[in-house]
Amino acid sequence: MHKIAVAKGDGIGPEIMDAVLTIFNAANVPIQYEIVDMGKWVFDKGYSNGMTAEAQETIETLGILFKGPMETPKGKGVKSINVTARKTWNTYANKRTFQTLHGVDTVFSKAGIPIDITIVRENIEDTYGGIEHMLTHDVALCRRFITKPGSYQVIKYAFEMAKKKGARRITCGHKSNIMKITDGLFLEVFYEVAKEYPELNSDDVIVDDLCMKLVTKPDLFDVVVLTNLQGDIVSDLCAGLVGGLGFAPSANIGDHISIFEAVHGTAPDIMGKNIANPTALLLSGIGMLRHLGLMETAAIIENALLYTLESGIHTGDFGDKSIPSVNTTTFAEAIISNFGKEPANNPKPILENKYVTPTIFKLKSNPMLETKSDLEEVIVGIDFFIESNEQPTEVANKSLKHTMDIVKLVTISNRGTQVWPRGSVFTNLVDQYRCRFESIGDVPLTQVEILELTKGMMKDFKVCSYEMLNMFGGKKAYSLAQGQ
């Protein structure tokens, strides 16, 4: 019998978790539960990451965390416990499955359009690094990291999952028409991995077009993989297609630790009333059982849930309003009473259990993710992000004083739009410019030469930030300004 960590969560979390564990116990699920301390009340006790040291040690020892919804205190400068947990344990793939549930009426169910979409969201990188700075009193900066190894991890998982699922299509959602380097890297890795799976139909869609198609023809899609922020938005959009977050399971998959959770809110307004809907957490738990190889048990519980929904039994947040709603406990009891029954629509096959005790990893150092490259790497310039409320020509005249024999000022932009040497007086400005210096003829520069240029610019401007301009294998690894 395997042991997993359980964090009941905040608000309605303990109620729905107790309901789910009652269902699991009735199904004789061969799992023991160790309760760990995480969530808002742990923040309130002074733990800045929302979990006790004992909880972290237990989860890292057991390798599986099953958690209810959790609240992060507002206005205290602390990070989301949900994001912290996913990033701390490198659960790089967020898998969320959205399926038509008969008994949960939606526009599409009423139209007879079946939905079966799996969103795989990169879970670690992107703007979710939360690295933000105020460059001036008017200008905020958020750094967005997309890495090749991180992209490979989640995209490889998506293809493997799509292969096992027998998916008819796997799609990369992206915005590489605008973010040509970051989203461009993610898309490039997608097609590199796609070469390993010629049997799968692989394609890509720009994310805004993807959203439009999802709300008009959701049955066109099967598996969709996206970067973190875009995946967060699109997965909630898909939840709306099948009835809301109350019907949206979530799994956060890593190489060593995985987290299964409900992603809806803590609903403090109904806390303690025993009326919350446990479906999303139950579906997440069913996904956890399959992850552990408990295929037969998972199918029995899921079929009982689907049968219960088809029967019209519902909590107060959904269902036929002409049928009285039931409370959380009664809903769980109804599912238990329906063990062994199959729904009329989309019954889950009863597969043989393939339970294997997960390997417990004892890591001595942090894994380093790095791809091999023999490309020549050289510095060919620098972008200075400076504070100034002067006009572009004034900024240019000051900057030109600091050019060197091998370096020239090539462009100045404001909010990404070029304002020098060419621009428009109709371009609104803020008090932060980017001044780009490049070496003449792409001659490699040393960091010492860059430092001399930096010292010169700092004499005339407050330099808020700067970025080196690199070339890899003779290819420029930086974007142009809009209009450059």
Residue 108: alpha-carbon gap to chain centroid = 26
Which pLDDT score, from 0 to 100, does residue 207 have?
Answer: 98
Q: Are 119 and 221 in contact (CB under 8 A)?
A: no
DSSP-assigned letters across all residues of 188-237:
HHHHHHHTT-TTS-EEEEEHHHHHHHHHH-GGG-SEEEE-HHHHHHHHHH
121 close to 235: Cβ distance less than 8 angstroms: yes
Single-letter code of the amino acid located at 132: E
225 closest CA partner among 128, 123, 99: 123
The domains spanning 1-89+267-365 and 93-253 adopt the same CATH topology: yes
Four-point Cα dihedral 165, 252, 189, 98, nearest 10: 50
What architecture is domain 93-253?
3-Layer(aba) Sandwich (3.40)
Cα 147 to Cα 125: distance, rounded to the nearest angstrom = 8
- Structure pTM? 0.93
Alpha carbons 183 and 178: distance in angstroms, whole number:
8
Angle formed at CA 406 by CA 403 and CA 407, multiple of 5 degrees: 40
Is 2.130.10.10 the CATH number for 1-89+267-365? Answer: no
Residue written as token pair 């949900």? 82
Region for 11 from its dihedrals, namely left if φ exceeds 0, alpha if ψ lies in -120 to 50, beta otherwise: left
Q: CA-CA distance, 45 to 28, in Å (whole number)?
A: 36
Residue 293, helix vs strand vs coil = coil
SS3 content of the chain, % helix, strand, coil (to 5): 35, 25, 40
Cis geometry, peptide bond prior to residue 421 (ω within 30 degrees of 0):
yes
Distance CA 276, CA 328 (A): 6
For residue 354, what pLDDT is reported?
A: 79
Query: What is the rounded distance in angstroms from the CA atom of residue 386 to the CA atom of residue 461?
Result: 6
**Tokens (6 digits) for 289:** 């059982």
- As a whole number of angstroms, the distance between CA 432 and CA 466 comes to 12
The structure tokens 């790095």 sit at 370
Looking at residue 364, its amino acid is: K
Phi, psi of 318 (to 5 degrees): -155, 180
Do 341 and 380 meet the contact criterion of CB atoms below 8 Å apart?
A: no
Query: Considering just the CA atoms, what is the radius of gyration of the chain in Å?
Result: 26
Note whether 388 and 433 are within 8 A (CB): yes
Q: What is the DSSP string of 315-377?
A: -TTSS-TTSPP--HHHHHHHHHHTTT---SSSPPP-PPP---PPPPP--SSPPPP-------E
Q: What is the residue extent of each domain of the chain?
A: 1-89+267-365, 93-253, 377-476
* 168 Cβ contact list (under 8 Å, min separation 6): 201, 222
Position of tokens 């169910």? 109
Report how far residue 238's alpha carbon sits from residue 170's, in angstroms, rounded to the nearest whole number.
16
Instruction: Give dist(CA 116, CA 203) in Å, integer.
Output: 18
Distance of CA 465 to the CA centre of its chain: 27
What CA–CA distances, in Å, run from 301 to 23, 243, 273, 349, 483?
8, 20, 25, 12, 58
- pLDDT 10s digit of each residue in the chain, 484 long? 789 999 999 999 999 999 999 999 999 999 999 999 999 888 888 888 889 999 999 999 999 999 999 987 776 667 788 888 999 999 999 999 999 999 999 999 999 999 999 999 999 999 988 899 999 999 999 999 999 999 999 999 999 999 999 999 999 999 999 999 999 999 999 999 999 999 999 999 999 999 999 999 999 999 999 999 999 999 999 999 999 999 999 999 999 999 999 999 999 999 999 999 999 999 999 999 999 999 999 999 999 999 999 999 999 999 999 999 999 999 999 999 999 999 999 999 998 887 766 666 678 899 899 998 889 999 999 999 999 999 999 999 999 999 888 999 999 999 999 999 999 999 999 999 999 999 999 999 999 999 999 999 999 999 999 999 999 999 999 998 777 7
**Alpha-carbon gap, residue 91 to 150, rounded angstroms:** 11
DSSP assignment of 256-278 equals: S-EEEEE-S---GGGTTSS----
Cβ proximity of 470 and 379 under 8 Å: yes
Domain 377-476 coded CATH 3.30.70.1570: yes
Alpha carbon distance 262, 254 (integer Å): 17
